[in-house]
Structure 1
Amino acid sequence: MAQQESIIKLKGRIGDLTFYETKDGYQARQVKGVSPQRIATDPNYQRTRENNAEFATGAAAAKRLRDTLRPMILLTYDPKMPARLFSRVMRVVKADSVSDRGERQVLPGNLGLLSQFGFNVGASLTSTLFVVPECTVDREAGSVTLNIPSLVPSLTIGAPKGATHFQFNFGAAVIDFDTEGEGNGSAIAMAESGTGLLNVETFAPTTLTAAIPAASELPLFVLFGISFYQEVNGKLYPLNNGAYNPVDIIRIDVV
């Protein structure tokens, strides 16, 4: 075991060396990790292999979600969202009560655990919009419709300071969680309202429709959000790069 003789006193780890203090002074030792081969074959690491397998399943499913929903996610901003989404997806994986440990999957019946997930932790839909839109799904026709009732913006929209206009954003996506398969049937369709002034007396009822693959049996995710803008010299600019825009999963439909 190495012992430090210089006047520089270190504690902690640098690379594969750990520095620590003992009654005999400051010492250093090399940290030896467990080899990948041992983790893959040693019976003592069975639980580690199982955890790693399910971690990979959750990571692949979360990435599939992010990739498919990316056009809606880009409307908002939350740098910690990927970690939050992965954590929620792992709850779905662990809810699998059928498969053996280490082989648990993202099952359609457990996807409800992702409902109401907000892609912006700093701006939730429930604290921004105080009316409830009505969502209708017609899988056979491949149509998802969102009806937003007439509203008074000053009373029903919690707009951030500096915003002058708003816009409703709507997305419907079918997600193929078979990440090991040859194909990827995931797809997303989006619709948006016209921009509205926040200081008008009434904003008319709005109907938004998104087309999904007809008769699809894949899990369906419905997203809804609000974008805020600031008018400067007749032009509309996104307010703070979307930091105030909520985008939430408002419905999950499975067959």
Structure 2
Amino acid sequence: MAKYKSPFRITGKVGDMKFRDGKIVMVGDSFNKRPPSKRTKENQQEFAGMAISASALLRALSKAKEAFADKTTRNRAFSIMREILNLGAGLRGQRTIDIVTHKSKLLGFEFNDTDKLENILIAPINASVNADRNEIVVNIPDFSTTADLNAPEFATHFRFKLAIGVLSNHGFDSNLKKYQSVNDSKESLNAMVTSVEIPLGGMVGQTTTLTAQLPDLPVLDADEVLIGAVGIEFLEIVNGDFYDFDTDRGMQIIIAE
């Protein structure tokens, strides 16, 4: 008796049947009720943990996120947390996201993957953190606004922004069966300061200094990190009023202590 063999190899679900390479691998209710494998469960747990940590990073610099982030920011923050988790201690599925130990992974993170600060500003940026880690001071030495700055057409001025915030380690809570912040007492604290408008053309004329402090100046614990990001945005002055550009603005994490 002849048998018909289809040239098509189906993969996926059709009705109550699940196919893989043309073969039925599951039928009926067993498809929906089959529990995830141990490996899948481990992946799901750590995936959720990385998502929580990425959100915490963007929340710590929420004011910067509002002004400078693009549609890829969250995914790129997630990638950093994946790198940190892969270096973490613990059982698979419960590895610690040790941001304190691996805080250097945050440095150089650009909020906008197209308009990067490193492509806009060539001048050096010096940053320091005080002993209690609740204040960041940034100094940008005098520089040429024509040679050391890539300004967009029609811009007449620019200004700097300094955003700071707190981020802590994240770990798996075996009782709650999920990841959470090891110390969330200060993770919501953040601040952002803005420089005066600086005219384009020639030298700035002086060192630009920005000082940002956490609200109420708390002393950070050992499992917390103070992060700071510097951004730049351009403006056009029209009849005495400043109008900021929606593009050509970049912000980068420059310090994590």
Tell me whether the two structures share a fold, i.e. TM-score over 0.5.
yes
User: Which amino acid in structure 2 is aligned with residue 190 of structure 1?
Assistant: M
Question: Equivalents in 2 of 1:246, 1:61: separation in Å?
Answer: 23
Aligned identity (percent) is: 24
Match of 2:52 in 1: 60
SS in 1 for 2:74: helix
SS in 1 for 2:142: coil
Question: Equivalents in 1 of 2:30, 2:84: separation in Å?
Answer: 31
1:165 maps onto 2:157 in alignment: yes
Match of 1:235 in 2: 241
Match of 2:81 in 1: 89
1:244 maps onto 2:248 in alignment: yes
Contact 2:163 2:191 (8 Å CA) reproduced: yes
Q: Which residue of 88, 98, 105 maps to 2:96? A: 105
SS in 1 for 2:102: helix
SS in 2 for 1:250: strand
Contact 1:92 1:113 (8 Å CA) reproduced: yes
TM-score (norm 2): 0.78
After superposition, give the CA deviation of every residue in 1:53-108 in whole Å (9 maximum; x if it has no partner).
Answer: 10010001111111221101222241121112112211111121x21111112101
After superposition, give the CA deviation of every residue in 1:141-161 in whole Å (9 maximum; x if it has no partner).
Answer: 732111111112111111122
Q: Which piece of structure 1 moves more, 191-200 or 47-56? A: 191-200
Question: Equivalents in 2 of 1:230, 1:17: separation in Å?
Answer: 62
> Structure 2: where are the runs of 5+ without partners?
1-9, 20-26, 171-179
Distance 1:181-1:91 versus aligned 2 partners, 3 A rule: closer
1:132 maps onto 2:134 in alignment: no
Question: Equivalents in 2 of 1:58, 1:209: separation in Å?
Answer: 31
Match of 1:190 in 2: 192
Query: How many pairs are equivalent?
Result: 229
> Structure 1: where are the runs of 5+ without partners?
1-10, 21-29, 40-44
Distance 1:14-1:54 versus aligned 2 partners, 3 A rule: closer
Distance 1:83-1:141 versus aligned 2 partners, 3 A rule: closer
How much has 1:163 moved relative to structure 2?
A: 1.8
More helix by share: 1
Question: Equivalents in 2 of 1:245, 1:162: separation in Å?
Answer: 14
Match of 2:213 in 1: 211
Question: Equivalents in 2 of 1:33, 1:164: separation in Å?
Answer: 66
TM-align CA RMSD: 3.1
User: Which amino acid in structure 1 is aligned with residue 82 of structure 2?
Assistant: M
Distance 1:93-1:14 versus aligned 2 partners, 3 A rule: same
